Structures are given as C-alpha cells and as structure tokens.
Amino acid sequence: MRRKSQDNMDYDIDSSEDTQEASEVEQRPISPPPRKENKHHRSSRDLKMDELRQELQDLMSGRHPEYLRRCHQLELDLERRHQLNSLYRDHAIELAEKEYVEEKKAAQVDFDDKSDLLKTNLIQFLEDKRRIIESDYQTTMELNVGDISETKLPTRNLRRRALDSTPAQEKRRGKISTAPCQIQHQLDEKDIDDDLRAIARARRTASLGVNGIQTLGPFPPSVNPSDIKIEDGKLLYEKKWFHRGQTVFVEGRHMAKFPAVICNVGTESIHVKRAADSTKVRVSLNNLSKGSVTIKRRAS
C-alpha cells in the first residue's frame, strides 16, 4: 500500500512538473523565425526592377529587341505597301494609255468621216452652182447675141460751081459706119437677170418633164398691178399695208419660204432682212405684180 501511494505521489509530482513546464512555455514570448524568404523575395524584386530599368534604357537608346522586332515588321509592311502602290500605279498608267490610244483612234476615225462628208457636200454644192451658172450664162448669151445689121447712110454728090477751081486731089470720103443702136431697158438690170434665169429654169424644167421627171406645179397667178403701190413709206399689197420693221414671210418661185423683217421701203422696191443670217433681199414691185415673189404677214 505504501508503495502504491508512493508511486502515486511520484506520478503527481511528475505531472505537476509537466504542467509547470507547459505553462512556462506558454508564458514565454514567441520569437519570429528568421525571414529567409523575405530576403529572397526582395532580391528577386530588385532583379526585376533592374531588368525593367535595363529594358527602359535599351528602349530609349533604340536597342530593345522587341522594339527592333516591331520596327523591322513595320519596315517590311511599308516595303510591301510601296510595292503594291507601285504595281497599282503601273496598272493605272497602262489602262490610261490604252484608253487614250483607243479614244485617239476613235477621234481620228470620226474626223476622217466628217472630213470626207464635208468634202463630198462641198463638191456637190460647187458642182450644182457651176451647172446653174453655166446654164444662166448660156441662156444670157443666147438672148443677147444676135446679128445687128449696120445701116449705111446715103451719100450725096454735090455739083461744083462754075467759078470753083477743081481741087488738085480730091479726098475720098470714107464709109461712115454707124455704131450699133443701144437698147434702152425700162426694167432694172437685176429684174432682167431674174427674168432670164426664170426663162432658163422654165426651159430646164420643161426638158425634165419631157424626159419623164415630174415638173413643178403651176405658178401662182400674178397680182393686179393696181393693187400694189407704195405711199408714205408703206407698201400696199393684197389689200394690206406693210411698213418698215414689220415681220413677214417671203416666198418666191425659185426661193424657199423664209421669215424676214422689212428694213427699208423705197419708191419701186422694198428690202427685207432674213431672220436667219441677217442678209438683205430686194423685192421689187414688178416681182410682186408678176407673182414671182409673195409676202405674207407673220405674227410677231
């Protein structure tokens, strides 16, 4: 029994000692372990900062590898863009040159066609004009050329007087040739030429009608000369008065109908001005009375 109690006492003493030691351990201040990891972290951060500073310095000096790589890529892109631009420019120039050549050829063809057409029209116009002039000349020569007989004046032989001495040499009188008589025309030369041309054209149209070509219709009847007169600078025609500055239509047997303005009223004729080219045309009272030219009023 004593031994058990002694053992119990020993156990109690040991346990009390353990508890005291544990309490002492708890009461001691806990000292932090040495920070080896913080030093490592600080050193790695410094290294990164140094690397960044070095990269920044390389970037500022233009030696950074990433900067150099991107600059090289940009240079390649720029060179490729220049090549594309040069190719596009060459292509555009080639297209423009082809279009220019085609337009030049088309313009030359158009010019040649119009030149040929103009030459043909001019030649035809001049040929027609030449034929008309030749026909008018022939008609005028046929009417004007004729045998004019020369009349001789009778010679009178007078007797000599008894006291007159005979002349040593008598001069013979030559034949007196009379000049051809001059014809005095009561019409103007222009009216005579118009009548001659009208006769020539009538002959031509008659010959064309005989050959099977349709002739022109009948001419309009002539107007009574008493109905045509000029008084106080005004023209009385077809019971209507026409004055200077009035717009009219003029039509003739050998001229197309055209609009005109009366620019002058004389004593035997009037002058009208074409509205198209402002050329003046003379219309005599004789032409109006014969009906070769007619005038009509035109609404202004």
pLDDT tens for the chain, residues 1 to 300:
444 455 555 555 455 555 555 555 455 545 555 555 566 667 888 888 888 888 888 888 888 888 899 999 999 999 999 999 999 999 999 999 999 999 999 999 999 999 999 999 999 999 998 988 888 777 777 655 444 444 455 566 666 665 555 555 544 554 444 444 455 555 667 777 777 777 877 776 655 544 444 433 344 444 555 578 888 888 998 888 998 889 999 988 878 888 999 998 988 889 999 888 888 888 888 888 888 888 988 876
What does the pLDDT look like over 107-137, one tens digit per residue?
A: 999 999 999 999 999 999 999 989 888 887 7
DSSP 8-state assignment for residue 292: S
Using CA atoms, how far apart are residues 261 and 271, in angstroms rounded to an integer? 9
* Residue 113 confidence (pLDDT): 92
Contacts (Cβ under 8 Å, ≥6 apart) of 237: 223, 227, 228, 288, 295
Assess contact for 260 and 274: CB atoms under 8 A. Answer: yes
The counts of H helices and E strands in the chain are: 5, 8
* Residue 134 confidence (pLDDT): 86
Pairing of strands 255-265, 247-252: antiparallel
The region, left, alpha or beta by phi > 0 then psi within -120 to 50, assigned to residue 232 is left
Assess contact for 45 and 52: CB atoms under 8 A. Answer: no
Using CA atoms, how far apart are residues 147 and 185, in angstroms rounded to an integer? 19
What does the pLDDT look like over 145-192, one tens digit per residue?
A: 444 444 455 566 666 665 555 555 544 554 444 444 455 555 667 777
Tokens 């050549």 map to which residue?
Answer: 101
